[in-house]
Structures are given as C-alpha cells and as structure tokens.
C-alpha cells in the first residue's frame, strides 16, 4: 500500500538573479513498511525533496506545481494549523545533527514528556511509563534514570536514539531519516541502522532514508531512487538496482565507492551543476561518458526498463 506519493513536484528558489529551479518533476512513492532510500551527491535535491514533505523549506523557496499526497490530503495545500498534527506526529524527522531537534536546556525526559503531551495527549505517570518504554526500545541503558539527563550528557549515538524515541512516542507512520548516521562512527552507524530496521519491521513504519552512502543503502533499503541535479534518474528495488544498475550516473556512483577489491577508485569527472546553471537536455550530459547529440537537447523521461525498474536515459531507447 502506498502511504505517501509525491507527484510531479517542481520547486525552486527566488534569488537575486530571479527564479532558479531546484526540483524537476519529482515523482516518489513510499510504501507502507518500506525503507526507500533517496540517494545522490550533495546538492542533488534529496534533502529539499524530504523537507518539502515536512514543509520545512527556506522562505525563498516556491513550489510551482505538484502534489504530496498523505492520508488522502495534499500536504502542500494544508495550512500551518492543519499541518501541526502531521509534522512530528505522523511524519517525523531524524536529522543529521540531533542537536537541531533536542533542546540543550531541557532534560531528555522533559522533551519526551512534552512530545507525549502535545501529540498524544498523555500526561503524568502514564507519560513517564511510555517515555521509559521508548528509551528501552531504542536501547538506551538505565532508561528511567536517563530521563533526568541533559542532551550534553548523551553521546552522539545516544542523542540520535533519543530522537528516534521521540518519533516512537508519537507513533509516527513515516520517519524521514536525513543522513542519520553521517556524524557517527562506523559501529554506531550500524547500530542506528539496525534500530531503524527493527522499528520498520516491528511497527510497519515507513522510512525515507536520505543518504549519499550507497553502502548504507545496500545493507538496508528496500527501494532506491537516485537523484541527479534535481531529477530522479533511476528507481528500482534495492536488489535489482545493485544487480542491474542502469543509469550511467548510478553506475558512476557505484564505481566511486571504496572497496577492498578495487585497485583504483574511479571518481566522477566534473561537478554537479548548481541550481543557477541551466543545462539543456539530460542534466548529466556534461559528465556522461556515453552522451550523444540527443542528450544535449532533449530531456530523457523516467521509463520502465524492467518490472518496477525505471531509468531516465536515452541509451535505453535504442536511439544511438
């Protein structure tokens, strides 16, 4: 079952030089109980896509067209008042830096109890019991006494677990994990990803995983969408993606992952375009080893190349 659908989302930013488009016809579907990874280099539009779901966009942004459907409602059209019961309650963010969500002046317990009071209407002893259960679930030891700790008394991994505990307190249906392990060391990264996977399986929670790390995606995601310069260029079930990678950009991303059996690390030549650069045709063409004449003038559409596997590349159209 689809729990969230982004349909033909177009978004840009108004700057001194006028309007610069950042997202181009983004289509993205999240299924119930699925971890769907949104992958790409920084600046490709993955975080902006996620923030548009949460209505956490910069003031100078403009959604020019599209829909974000959740619970039979278009989130774009909801007023701030109507949206209060969506963000944090039904759709929760797990940010890269947990301190952007934790208040350093209040204890972890105060913050969990506040979430339970606002979003679930639960107070007093019942709220405290729920908060302890949530900290237990995210495997914070001595959960009861840890309610009295301040965020600075927690390690980076524990802070991230506390954020996940808040999302659990709200019984959020969707978690948006924005580079949730980037600031953590490798062992803790694995623990946080294991925790997200457990929550997904046990609560049937749906997770959007924003990452540039294809290693994390390989081990955890059910489905992958690769973004390049504001467009989704490939989308596939995870296993199929890694077995039958299609788009030249996805292949280049995979080739640039360090591994023990690679004698040489292949980098992608050039830089992704900024939103101020207008690149006609396929936006990857200046960096693509396979670019043809058509790639410089026409935009390749995302089309189904095998069941449930989509790619936007003219190489699939036998036009060369």
User: What residues make contact with ligand SF4 under the rule CB under 6 A?
Assistant: 248, 282, 284-285, 288, 290-292, 295, 300, 313-315
294: exposed, middle or buried (C-beta count within 10 Å: 0-12, 13-18, 19+)?
A: middle
CB 148 within 8 A of CB 26: no
Distance CA(74)–CA(5), nearest Å, equals 9
Number of residues in the chain = 320
Residue 176, Ramachandran bin (φ over 0: left; ψ between -120 and 50: alpha; else beta): beta
In angstroms, what is the minimal distance from the CB of 263 to ligand SF4?
A: 26
**Segment holding 42, helix H or strand E:** none
Report the residue number, 70 or 314, with the smaller CB distance to ligand SF4: 314
For residue 28, which of 4, 59, 64, 56 has the smallest C-alpha distance?
Answer: 4
In angstroms, what is the minimal distance from the CB of 139 to ligand SF4?
A: 43
Report the residue number, 248 or 272, with the smaller CB distance to ligand SF4: 248
Distance CA(153)–CA(191), nearest Å, equals 19
In angstroms, what is the minimal distance from the CB of 256 to ligand SF4?
A: 16
Report the residue number, 57 or 292, with the smaller CB distance to ligand SF4: 292
Q: Could you give the 3-state DSSP secondary structure of residue 130?
A: helix
Report the residue number, 238 or 285, with the smaller CB distance to ligand SF4: 285
In angstroms, what is the minimal distance from the CB of 319 to ligand SF4?
A: 9
In angstroms, what is the minimal distance from the CB of 309 to ligand SF4?
A: 15
Report the residue number, 164 or 315, with the smaller CB distance to ligand SF4: 315
């Amino acid at each position: 079952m689809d729990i969230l659908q982004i349909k033909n989302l177009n978004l840009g930013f108004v700057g001194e030089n006028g309007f610069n488009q950042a997202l181009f016809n983004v289509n993205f579907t999240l299924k119930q109980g699925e971890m769907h990874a949104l992958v790409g280099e920084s600046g490709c539009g993955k975080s902006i896509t996620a923030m548009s779901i949460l209505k956490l966009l910069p003031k100078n942004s403009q959604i020019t067209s599209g829909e974000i459907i959740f619970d039979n409602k278009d989130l774009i059209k909801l007023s701030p008042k109507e949206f209060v019961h969506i963000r944090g309650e039904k759709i929760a963010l797990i940010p890269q830096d947990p301190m952007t969500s934790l208040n350093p002046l209040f204890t972890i317990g105060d913050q969990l109890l506040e979430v339970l009071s606002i979003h679930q209407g639960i107070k007093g002893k019942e709220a405290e019991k729920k908060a302890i259960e949530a900290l237990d679930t995210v495997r914070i030891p001595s959960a009861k006494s840890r309610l009295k700790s301040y965020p600075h008394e927690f390690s980076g991994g524990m802070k991230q677990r506390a954020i996940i505990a808040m999302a659990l307190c709200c019984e959020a249906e969707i978690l948006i994990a924005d580079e949730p392990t980037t600031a953590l060391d490798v062992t803790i990264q694995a623990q946080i990803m294991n925790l997200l996977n457990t929550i997904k399986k046990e609560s049937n929670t749906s997770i959007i995983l924003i990452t540039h790390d294809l290693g994390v995606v390989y081990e955890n995601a059910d489905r992958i969408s690769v973004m390049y310069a504001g467009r989704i260029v490939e989308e596939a079930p995870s296993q199929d993606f890694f077995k039958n990678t299609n788009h030249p950009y996805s292949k280049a991303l995979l080739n640039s992952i360090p591994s023990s059996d690679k004698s040489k690390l292949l980098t992608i030549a050039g830089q992704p375009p900024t939103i101020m650069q207008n690149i006609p045709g396929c936006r990857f063409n200046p960096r693509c080893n396979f670019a043809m004449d058509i790639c410089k003038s026409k935009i390749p559409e995302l089309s189904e190349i095998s069941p449930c596997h989509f790619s936007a590349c003219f190489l699939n159209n036998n036009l060369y």
